[in-house]
A and B are shown apart, each in its own frame.
Chain A
Amino acid sequence: MAEAGNAIDPIHQFNITDLAPLHLFGVDASFTNASLFMVIVTAAVALIMVIGTSGSHLVPTRLQAAAEVFYEFVASTVRETAGDAGMRFFPFVFSVFMFVFFSNLIGLVPYAFTVTSQIVVTFAFALLIILIVIGYGFYKNGLGFLHLFMPSGVPVALMPVIVLIEVFSFLMRPVSLSVRLFANMLAGHITLKVFGAFVTMLLGAGVYALLAPLPMIGIVLLTAFELLVALLQAYVFAILTCVYLNDAIHPGH
């Protein structure tokens, strides 16, 4: 295994390489392969939405239908989870959903880099979301936002414990939100790479090469499953964003 270690290293796909080194005031601001794929993802989302919504035919074209499906899907999610007052956050949730979804999808293309498999990306997203929740919660409700940590109908004796638990679970939200997406993407891509390594190892193992199609079928099935996970994790990310925003809009429930 050691001599073949360099050829089939499942972690290698997550390495960040500098494409255009740039150091500003001691900060490493190089243009990396992660930055390149973020640009690609943003461009893909912008292209689909701009071209899809520019025609506005009565009978939609394929691209317009796709753009409308994305819009209606996210809009109904926001409206059901955060209510009509939450619709002012629709542009934000829509941007987050589309970026995460397209990063997951483009990351499934062989040799492509998965932006969302880097915890720094997902954690930056989660931190932004939780700061928006805290900021908007205090802006809208003032100190009433703190009712979020004091559920109504709890006996006074239990209150300190409940408040402690609620505060802790609130503080863990960005962690679980970011690690969920990052871990799903990381584990999925490592599994795909490991199955790919099975194929190459079997092909180089004499008569066992006859078994090589089995993991190959596995890769095809896993890729289909990863397509589902790509949509599912983007949906979970968006719906949890809505749930957290709902807490900021209507605290104390």
Chain B
Amino acid sequence: MDPTAAKYIGAGIAAIGMGAAAIGVGLIFGNFLSGALRNPSAADGQFGRAFIGAALAEGLGIFAFLVAIILLFVVK
């Protein structure tokens, strides 16, 4: 296979990982919202924790993005 084509295909496959991170972030905020609707008075106190969890879940998707970027722009 042409190495350039393989590079682009690899970057595309790596980008799938970002979709998995999207599922994770969606789960966190979905569960946060359902918990907040059950007990709205406790929601404000957990707001920061929801974002910490989302940021950590997003971090793993960012590694996938990083792999895609490295494949596209760094790997010759």
- Chain A residues close to B by CB (< 8 Å): 77, 80-81, 172, 175-176, 179-180, 183, 235-236, 239-240, 243
Contact = CB atoms under 8 A, between A and B. Distances in A.
B3 interface: no
Contacts of A81: 48, 52
B59 A77 contact: no
B32 interface: no
A239 B45 CA distance: 14
What is the interface residue range for chain B against chain A? 10 to 19
B52 A176 contact: no
B62 interface: yes
A236 B51 CA distance: 7
SS class, residues of chain A in contact with chain B: helix
A80 B44 CA distance: 11
Contact of B59 (A80, A180, A239, A243): A180
Interface in B35-65: 45, 48, 51-52, 54-55, 58-59, 62-63, 65
Interface of B: 45, 48, 51-52, 54-55, 58-59, 62-63, 65-66
A180 B66 CA distance: 10
Contact of A180 (B45, B48, B52, B62): B62
In terms of DSSP, what is the predominant structure of the interface of chain B? Answer: helix
B59 to A, nearest CB: 4
Nearest to A187: B65
A236 B55 contact: yes
Given A77-B48, A239-B48, A183 B55 contact: no
A236 B58 CA distance: 11
Given A172-B59, A172-B63, 16 more contacts: A77-B48, A80-B45, A80-B48, A81-B48, A81-B52, A176-B62, A176-B63, A179-B65, A180-B55, A180-B59, A183-B65, A235-B51, A236-B54, A239-B51, A239-B52, A243-B52
Contacts of A239: 48, 51-52, 55
A197 to B, nearest CB: 20
A237 B48 CA distance: 12
27 contacts: A77-B48, A80-B45, A80-B48, A81-B48, A81-B52, A172-B59, A172-B63, A176-B59, A176-B62, A176-B63, A179-B62, A179-B65, A179-B66, A180-B55, A180-B58, A180-B59, A180-B62, A183-B62, A183-B65, A235-B51, A236-B51, A236-B55, A239-B48, A239-B55, A240-B52, A240-B55, A243-B52
B3 to A, nearest CB: 22
Contacts of A77: 48
Contacts of A176: 59, 62-63
A35 B48 CA distance: 33
A112 to B, nearest CB: 23
Contacts of A243: 52
A209 B37 CA distance: 45
A180 B51 CA distance: 13
Contacts of A236: 51, 54-55
Report which residue of B48, B54, B63 has the largest number of chain A beta carbons within 10 angstroms of its beta carbon.
Answer: B48
